[in-house]
Amino acid sequence: MVVTNASIVTKSGKVLVSRQYVDMSRIVIEGLLGDFPKLVGMDKQHTYFETETVRYVYQPIEALFLLLVTTKQSNILQDLDTLRLLSKLVPEYCMSLDEDGIGRGNFDLIHAFDEVISLGHKENVTVAQVKQYCEMESHEEKLHKLLMQSKINDTKDVMKRKANEIDKSKIEKTRGDKGGLSSMGSMGSGKLDNSFSDLNISQGGGSGYGSGAGFGMMSDFDPLTTKAKDRSRSSFTAPPKSSGMKLGKSGRNQLMESLKAEGEDIIEDVKPTGQTRAAVQPPTDPFTLTVEEKLSVAMRRDGGISNFDMQGTLSLQILNQEDGFVQVQIETGGNPEIRFNTHPNINRELFNSESILGLKRPDQPFPTGQGGGGVGLLRWRMQRAEESMVPLTINCWPSVSGNETYVSIEYEAAPVFDLTNVIISVPLPALRDAPIVKQCDGDWRYDSRNSVLDWSILIIDNSNRSGSMEFVVPPVDSSVFFPISVQFAATSTYSGLKVKGMIPLRGDGDATPRFVQRTQLTAHDYQVV
């Protein structure tokens, strides 16, 4: 038996891996492998066929062929046995049986083939033995790595010494410059004293820059004297903090306008700060009830939910303190997965029986809650949900083709939620230029500082429950694009909590107080990992 060549080829004849075991020229090998796709369809009953010079023994592996080229005098039974052993090794060293998977593991495959075939003859080995031989440690490799690491360490030591020498030279140079300045100051001390006596500058008060008359007198002196006086005055009287130039809001706007006029793209980041929250208009209605749910979800990239946590609150704001003698009638959606907890000062029995939120002591009013986000009345939590119940699912499909990585991302929104201000942030490798976006349903923005691609959709409703985006980057590992972070807001909630009305405890009991309800669901920590 003599095996001249072992290869993996596609059905179109493209050679992915090829290993020869006898002396043959490249032209001959390419000719033999190029003829295989033309001859493979002549006889489909067997997995081998012969030509005038060689024999082809092959086995289909999904969309590929594992091929042995042997001499016509070789034993066909041994050839088939060798082919079966090689076919068992291919899945062991390739994650997927396609062109990308074979390309990633081609060198490991060649080493495994060499353990099975030696000089054209099959070795008496098994799959386990081949894996053991390929994974054995090499003393020469360890020695080489140790030598390389020692060279790296020596280079780092040399760099540290050079850096210390540079720092010392800078310090000595700085000391020399200071010595020169001090000598110049001593030479002009007489002139400085005269200047101070002429200007009549007081050390106790004053702005540190002199009065208006002082500036007028200063123009009569020569430039050297003026500079010396400024330097000396700064050592005696420190300028107040308010006298320095500040880049205020008007100055910043002028700078932005000038940059825009020159053609620069200015992106102003608006982040919620404490001042921004404080600038929210105070409530004008007698009663404001806020239903807020924060959603934390961790979805697996291959499907399914690894973590789900929804926390909700109901808070109350009252415009006037004298209107605080009320009770709140609510209605819940009846979700069995949600557990409600009332505030310790709320009558728990009244809530369980009639869904009314009132204080345990009706003779006391509710606090106004104007100083913060309102008075908390009710909390609830949900920690289990099916994948179909999450507002938004994200699928990311990276694939490497040649020198490029094609990334296709798609979203699908649940019909229960209409989402607004959706931002899907995809981490990217460090790139010199922005990624090439082939297609995008919505808008996109590349943050080069953080290496993040932000995909934004203003609103998701029945007209666009699904969408996709495709972009291209240089070849990288698929794990670079995770975790994907998602931000959105919605007016529908999991609890379905609604305020039915306000029940006054004093005054005219027939008049229903006017109130407003605000409902919001936000993505607090929503990721695809």
**Tens-digit pLDDT profile for residues 432-477:** 889 999 999 999 999 988 999 999 999 999 999 999 999 999 988 8
Q: Across 127-141, 171-185, 350-364, 451-465, which has the greatest mean pLDDT?
A: 451-465
Q: What is the pLDDT of residue 458?
A: 93
- The mean pLDDT of the chain is 79
> pLDDT category, 122, cuts 50, 70, 90?
confident
Q: At what angle do helices 139-187 and 189-199 cross, to 10 degrees?
A: 60
Domain-located, residue 306 = yes
- Residue 283: band (very low, low, confident or very high) from pLDDT cuts 50, 70, 90: low
Task: Evaluate if residue 216 carries a pLDDT over 50.
Answer: no
How far, CA to CA in Å, does 255 sit from each of 36, 269, 270, 422?
70, 16, 17, 31
Determine, yes or no, domain membership for 253. no
Given a cut of 70, whether residue 267 has pLDDT beyond it is no
Q: Where are the alpha helices (DSSP H) in 379-453?
A: none
Q: What is the pLDDT of residue 30?
A: 83
- Mean pLDDT in residue range 357-381: 85
Residue 337, domain CATH: 2.60.40.1170
Distances (CA, A) of 509 to 332, 350, 506, 512: 24, 19, 7, 7
What does the pLDDT average to over 279-287? 68
Q: Residue 170 falls within a domain, yes or no? A: no
What is residue 46's predicted lDDT score, i.e. its pLDDT? 63
d(CA 404, CA 476): 8
In this prediction, residues 344-352 reach a mean pLDDT of 90
Assigned domain for 352 exists: yes
d(CA 313, CA 295): 12
Q: Which two three-digit tokens encode residue 122?
A: 């099959």
Which DSSP state fits 48? E
Show which of 135, 159, 189 is a domain's final residue. 135
pLDDT in tens, 496-522: 999 998 888 887 655 778 889 999 999
**pLDDT digits 0-9 by tens, 64-111:** 889 899 988 888 888 888 888 998 888 888 878 888 888 888 888 888
In which domain, by residue range, is 87 found? 3-135
Of 102, 135, 168, the residue that ends a domain is 135
Side-chain-facing half-sphere of 102: CA atoms under 13 Å = 21
Count the alpha carbons within 13 Å of 57 in the hemisphere toward its beta carbon: 24
Q: Which two tokens stand for residue 175?
A: 């000391």
% of the chain residues with pLDDT over 90: 28
Q: Taking 50 as the threshold, does the pLDDT of residue 494 lie above it?
A: yes
Per-residue confidence at 204, pLDDT binned at 50, 70, 90?
A: very low
301-326 average pLDDT score: 89
Q: What is the DSSP string of 99-138?
A: HHHHHHTHHHHHHHHHHHEETTEE-S--HHHHHHHHH---
- Among 489, 499, 494, smallest CA distance to 460 is for 489
d(CA 198, CA 291): 72
- Residue 430 within a domain: yes
Count: domains in the chain: 2
Output the pLDDT for position 468: 94
Average pLDDT score over residue span 288-301? 93
Beta strands in 203-248 (DSSP E): none
Give a yes or no: residue 225 inside a domain: no
- pLDDT attached to residue 401: 85
- Predicted pLDDT of residue 184: 46
Which of 84, 100, 135 is where one domain is finished?
135
State what percent of residues in the chain have pLDDT above 70. 77
d(CA 453, CA 328): 45
Residue 204 neighbours by CB under 8 Å, 6+ apart:
none
Whether 283 and 317 have beta carbons less than 8 Å apart is answered as: yes
241: left (phi over 0), alpha (psi -120 to 50) or beta: alpha
In a domain, 448, yes or no: yes
Tokens 């994974």: give the residue: 135
Q: Which of 125-134, 271-280, 364-373 has the lowest mean pLDDT?
A: 271-280
How confident is the model over 33-57, as pLDDT tens digits? 888 887 876 555 568 888 888 888 9
Torsion sign, CA atoms 113, 119, 121, 124: negative
- Residue 522 near residue 292, CB atoms below 8 Å: yes
Per the DSSP assignment, residues forming a β-bridge with 103 are none
Pick the closest to residue 197 from 212, 214, 174 (CA basis).
214
Q: What is the mean pLDDT of residues 211-237?
A: 39
* 492 located within any domain: yes
Order of strands across the sheet that contains 356-357: 356-357, 326-331, 498-504
- Per-residue pLDDT band for 177 (boundaries 50, 70, 90) equals low
pLDDT band at 297 (very low <50, low <70, confident <90, very high): very high
Q: What CATH code is carried by the domain that includes residue 21?
A: 3.30.450.60
Q: Tell me what pLDDT residue 12 has.
A: 81
